[in-house]
Amino acid sequence: MHELSIATSILETVEAEAAKRPGSRFVKLGLRIGELAGIDPDALTFGWEALTRDTEFANLALAIEGTPWKNRCPVCASEFVVKDYQSQCPACGEANTRCIGGEELDIAYIEVDEP
Amino acid sequence: MTQIQVEKKVLNENQRLAEELRAKFREHNVLTLNIISSPGSGKTSILERTLESFDKSKRVVVLTGDIQTENDAKRLARFGFPVKQIVTGGTCHLDAKMIEKHLADWPLKNIDLLFIENVGNLVCPSSYDLGEHAKIVMLSVTEGEDKPLKYPSIFAKSELMILNKVDLLPYVPFDAELAKQNARAVHPGMEIVEVSCTKGDGLTQWMEWLDRKAAATFRAQETTA
């Protein structure tokens, strides 16, 4: 359970963005969280709410977009979504494919009511 | 309503520090390995067996992380090499800042090999880059053979899997072949060594992996330097 640490890091970025935009009200925070990031969205939301309660960000809702685990085949260059842990290339059968997506833990956007 | 594109990694600051550490390890040729497993898989045990086998002139140090107690550092300090405990006080993983802080008074030019024993946990440590050259995941036969499927992130990111406690295989319903198959489903290229820290099986293969990793890391550094 490290979602509270993650929420704390998110809050630091949000505070920095808020400092650049005095008077704005932040209404939504878009996050991108990959399947391999090891983050539970419910636990993160719970941590975020606990952390921001009684702050100016108490009503800042999290919009979490989950991104799938994707690999790329070094032989035939196909890109595919890994399902049921089968990372073998579905096009040519190559076993040793590389992860190109699913590890994201990003703050994508903030929706703001400008003053 | 305006949408501001932020596009920042949540762990931006950790990543920045990890890259700084990686550059320092590279500059001073310090091979850094981050060992991750569930509590009780045998991280401290394999480090004990490893330190025990080293010549006293070996320039090796250990940082060992736990939520509480200095027990692991005490176990590891018996072998005469510098060991420092990182007590996280509740945090379930090590981050790059803790590594930087605890390395501060050890001159890197005097170190060839740094072992980082992470907090026992298969989830959280996988999110934090510590600037290491490789992550090593450890699994023991008293756990389930489906651990790689339950915690794919750490198995996907680790270069080596150490399967420990193989001396207990006759007594537990653990299918070692299935465990390896599961690990390779998640990470096809992963190397696997099977060891018993109590009986000594497989420790030679582990030491050979260490030598190969050190040689490959420093060779790669020389060619790109």
Average pLDDT of chain B, as a whole number: 94
pLDDT at B68: 93
- Distance from the Cα of B97 to chain A's closest Cα (Å) equals 13
Q: Which residue of A has its CA nearest to B146?
A: A85
pLDDT category of residue B225 using cuts at 50, 70 and 90: low
Would you state the structure tokens that stand for residue B16, as one six-digit string? 């920045």
Burial class (CB in 10 A: 0-12, 13-18, 19+), B129: buried
DSSP string, B93-119: S--HHHHHHHHTTS-GGG-SEEEEE--
Binary contact (B3, A111; C-beta < 8 A): yes
Binary contact (B152, A69; C-beta < 8 A): yes
- Chain B within 8 Å of A25 (Cβ-Cβ)? no
pLDDT at A84: 83
pLDDT at A2: 82
Amino acid at residue number B170: P
pLDDT tens readout for residues A18-76:
999 988 899 999 999 999 888 889 999 999 999 999 999 999 999 999 999 999 999 99
- Chain A within 8 Å of B67 (Cβ-Cβ)? no
Mean per-residue pLDDT for B66-71?
93
pLDDT category of residue B65 using cuts at 50, 70 and 90: very high
pLDDT over 80 at B223, yes or no: no
Structure letter (DSSP) for residue A26: E
pLDDT tens readout for residues B154-207:
999 999 999 999 999 999 999 999 999 999 988 888 999 999 999 999 999 999
pLDDT over 80 at A115, yes or no: no
Whose CA is closest to B115, among B55, B171, B48? Answer: B48
pLDDT over 80 at B32, yes or no: yes
pLDDT at B35: 98
Contacts A113 to B, Cβ<8 Å: 1-2
Q: Closest to B10 (Cβ–Cβ): which among A86, A106, A113?
A: A106
Binary contact (B188, A106; C-beta < 8 A): no
Q: Closest to A1 (Cβ–Cβ): which among B92, B148, B186?
A: B92
Report percent pLDDT > 90 for chain B. Answer: 84
pLDDT over 70 at A1, yes or no: no
pLDDT at B81: 97
- Chain B within 8 Å of A8 (Cβ-Cβ)? no
- Chain A within 8 Å of B17 (Cβ-Cβ)? no
pTM to 2 decimal places: 0.88
Residue B26 CA, chain-centre distance (Å), reads: 17
Residues whose CB falls within 8 Å of the CB of residue A65, separated by 6 or more in sequence, listed in order:
A30, A31, A32, A33, A108
Q: Which of A10-14, A20-24, B96-100, B138-142 has the lowest mean pLDDT?
A: A20-24
Contacts A114 to B, Cβ<8 Å: 2
- Angle in degrees, CA B106, B111, B201, rounded to 5: 120
pLDDT category of residue B222 using cuts at 50, 70 and 90: confident
Binary contact (B156, A99; C-beta < 8 A): yes
pLDDT at B224: 64
Chain A with chain B: Cβ pairs closer than 8 A: 100
Binary contact (A6, B153; C-beta < 8 A): no
Q: Which residue of A has its CA nearest to B13?
A: A9
Contacts B123 to A, Cβ<8 Å: 1-2, 38
pLDDT category of residue A100 using cuts at 50, 70 and 90: very high
Binary contact (A111, B2; C-beta < 8 A): yes
Contacts A85 to B, Cβ<8 Å: 148-149, 152, 182, 185-186
ipTM computed for the complex: 0.80
